[in-house]
Amino acid sequence: MVFFTYIDWTTEEIARAFYVGKGNESRVRERKRNLYWQRVAAKYGHVREVVFATKDERMALDFEIEMIAVQLL
């Protein structure tokens, strides 16, 4: 199984990251998330960028944590 880390961006002129996630291929394809995600995606649009892929789930999780930290700075 392959695990992915991904970032959801708004489609505004100056895109903003609003969600970082980790999961398998079906999780990456799935667009249902929490109410916050739904509201941002509905208002600003969204595009998903896969930024990391690995067979090691722990590595994908660690990369997700790192991306969250970077996006919050």
Q: Domain range for residue 44?
A: 3-72
Percent over 90 (pLDDT), the chain: 90
Please give the model's pTM, rounded to 2 decimal places: 0.90
Which helix (H) or strand (E) segment holds residue 61: the answer is helix 57-72
Average of per-residue pLDDT across 35-39: 95
Quote the pLDDT of residue 72. 64
Quote the pLDDT of residue 70. 87
47-54 and 17-23 as β-strands: parallel, antiparallel, unpaired? Answer: unpaired
Q: Cα(22)–Cα(19) distance, rounded to whole angstroms?
A: 10
Give the number of domains in the chain: 1
